[in-house]
Amino acid sequence: MMSATASLDELIADFEELEEPIERLAHLEEIGRNLTPMPENLRTEENRVLGCQSMVWLVAKQRGSKPPILEFQAYSDAPIVRGEIAVLLAAYSGKTPQEILDFPIEELIARLKLRSFLTPLRSNGLYSMVKRIQALAAERASKSKVQSPTPKVRSQESGVSGQKSEVSTQKSEAGGDEVEQVGLLSAALRDDFPILSTVLEDGQPLVYFDNAASAQRPKRVIASIVEAYQHYYSNVHRGGHALAVESTTRYEKARETIRHLLNARSNDEVLFTAGATAAINLVARSWGDTNCRKGDEILLTQMEHHSNIVPWQQLAERTGCTIKWLPLTDGYELDLDALDGLLSERTKLVAFTAISNVLGTINPVKMIVEKAHAAGAKVLVDAAQHVPHETTDVQAWDADFVALSGHKLMGPSGVGVLYGRRELLEAMPPFLGGGSMIKTVTLDGFTPADLPYKFEAGTPMIVPAIGLGVATEYLLGIGLARIQAHELALTRCAHELLAEIPGVRILGPAPEKKGGIVSFVVDGIHADDVSRVLDLKGIAVRAGHHCAMPLHKRYGVDASCRASFYLYNTLEEVERLATALGQAKKVFQRE
C-alpha cells in the first residue's frame, strides 16, 4: 500500500486496484492514519476549515514568486477526513495558483470512485476544504498579479468546475405559421399532463385556464415525487447511509438545475424556500430589518401582488421606513416617467414584479434595476409570473434578489426559490434558527453555516425541491422561446375573440406587451358569477382581486376574471372560452 506522501499518479493507481467500496474506504482511512500530524501551534481557529463536521486545519506555504508554488499542510481529528486531506494534498500541493484553480477535482474524485461512499456529511467537508484551497490560491494569484478566475466549486452533481452543466436548454425559436406552431406544441405535450384528460359533470372536458395561480404537473414530475417517497426518501446532508446520499444528491442536483435556469453565478446564490412569498419575507426580515431605518424609503408599484406589498408594509411598521408607490398609466403599464422623481438617496429598495399577475404587463426589469442602482438602492424582482414563461437571466438583469414559486412552473406546491447576490446573502443574518443552518453551537451562541444552508433551517422541503428540479428540466427541454411564442399566439386569439363580445373589457396592454394572461370584466355581471357559468362549461378561470387589490382599485373595479395560459393550452380552448363567455352574458340577460 502507498504512503500518505505518495504522488498523485501513485494514489490513482492504488485506488484503481480496489474494486469494493469498503476496500476504498478502508484504504482512505489507512492513508489518513499515516498522514503527518500538523504542529499544535498551527491548529488555531484562524486556520480551521469551516463547514466540516470534524475539526480540520489547513495552511498554505509559498515557494518562489513568479509565479509562486504553493505547498499545503492540513490535518484533522478524524482518520477518514485525514485520508481526504491526503488526496487533496497530492492533487494541489506543488502547483501554481492558476494550476490549482484549473485543477479538475471532480474528475479526480470520480476516477478514485470515492463518491460512492462519500456521505453528504463528509462530502460537505471535502468541498469546504477545496474551497479553502482555491480561495488561498486566488489570493496568492492576485498578489502576484497573475490573472485568474474567481475560485468556484460546483455542486457534486454539476460536473468538473469550469465545465458546462449537463442540463441542456434545447431552446428553439418558433418559426413559420404561428397557429400551426401553437397546435404542434400543445398537441405534443398534452399527453404528458394526466389532469388535462379530466371530464367534468355533464360530460364537459376540462379547460384549465388558471395557470397564473398554479400550473399543472407533467407525468415525470409526479413520478419523481412517487419515486422519492417509495425508493430513497431520507433527510438530507446529515445522514451517512445510502438513502441519505441519494436524497442529498437529488436535492442538490435540483439546486444546480435551477441555477442553470436562472443563470445564477453559483449554487450558493440559490436558496430553497417555502414559496415566492416566503422568499420575499426572508429578504424583508433579514435584509430589511438590518438595513432599513426611519427616514428610509421602499419603492413599490401599484401592480404588485400582495406578497410583494404586505412584507414591506410590515417592515415599515417595524422600522419606521416609508413606502412610496410607482403609479400605473391608463394603458396598464408602469408610469416610468415618474420613476426618476421617486428615487432618491433615501431609497433603500425597489421591489417590483417582472410580469403582472393581473394585467400580464411585461416590465422593463433591466432598465428599472439600472435606475435603482444609480440611486444607490437594492432591487428585488418578483419573478413568479416570469420564470415559467420567459427566459430569465439574473445576471443580465443585475437584480439583487429574485423570488419565484415552484408550483407556477409545474413543480410541487410548498417550494420556491430566492436568488440573492452572494455578497448580500453573506452579509445578511439568518432569518430562521435551528438545525442545518449552523456550523457550531455552544452554550454561548452559534456560528451560521455557509451559503446556501445558512438560510435553510430545519428539514427542508426535500421531495418538493426534487420535483421542482425535474419540472425545471422539463421546462428547459421544451425551450422558453417556444413557450413564449405559443402563449403569445393564444393571447392574441383571446384578445381578438373577447373584443367581439359587447360589454367585455380587457384589463391589460396589447398582447405584444404582456404575458399569457387575459383578465377581463363584463358590464353588469360580477366576476364571480361569470366564473361560475364558465365552470359549468368546464372552463377553469380565476375570479376575484387576484391578491392585487390596489391594482383593481386603480382601474375602478372590485374584481375581475382571469384566464391565464400555459404551454399545454390550445387555440380551440380559447375559442371555447369566448363561446362560453357569450353564453354567460345571455344567462344574466345583459345584452
- Give me the sign of the Cα torsion angle 225, 227, 230, 234: negative
- Cell numbers representing residue 187 in the block: 398537441
Q: What's at 246, amino acid-wise?
A: E
Which run of H or E residues covers position 534?
helix 527-536
Neighbours of 6 (CB within 10 A): 17
Contacts of 295 (CB under 8 A, 6+ apart): 320, 321, 322, 346
CA distance 288 to 314: 10
CA atoms within a 13 Å half-sphere pointing along the CA-CB vector of 160? 11
Residue 516 · residue 490 · CB < 8 Å: yes
547 in catalytic set: yes
Phi, psi of 8 (to 5 degrees): -65, -40
Pairing type for strands 347-353 and 504-507 reads unpaired
Q: Peptide bond before 452: cis, by omega within 30 degrees of 0?
A: yes
Which H helix or E strand runs over 263? none
Secondary structure tally for the chain: helices H, strands E: 21, 17
Q: What CA–CA distance (Å, rounded) separates 91 from 108?
A: 8
Best CA proximity match to 573, nearest among 545, 541, 528? 541
Q: How far, in Å, are 129, 219, 474 from residue 351 at the CA level?
A: 37, 35, 29
SS3 category, 61: strand
Residues 25, 41 contacting (CB under 8 angstroms): no
Residue type, 189: L
Distance CA 338, CA 364 (A): 14
- Mark residue 431 as left, alpha or beta (left: phi above 0; alpha: psi -120 to 50; beta: remaining): alpha
- With beta carbons less than 8 A apart as the criterion, state whether 137 and 100 touch: yes
Which residue in 374, 253, 361 sits closest to 382, CA to CA? 361
Assign 3-class secondary structure to 446-462. EEECCCCHHHCCCCCCH
Q: Of 321, 493, 547, 561, which one is the catalytic site residue? A: 547
The grid coordinates listed for 536 are 359549468
Q: Give the Cα separation of 73 and 40 in Å (integer).
A: 12
Provide the 8-state DSSP code for 144. Answer: T
- Active-site annotation, residues: 547
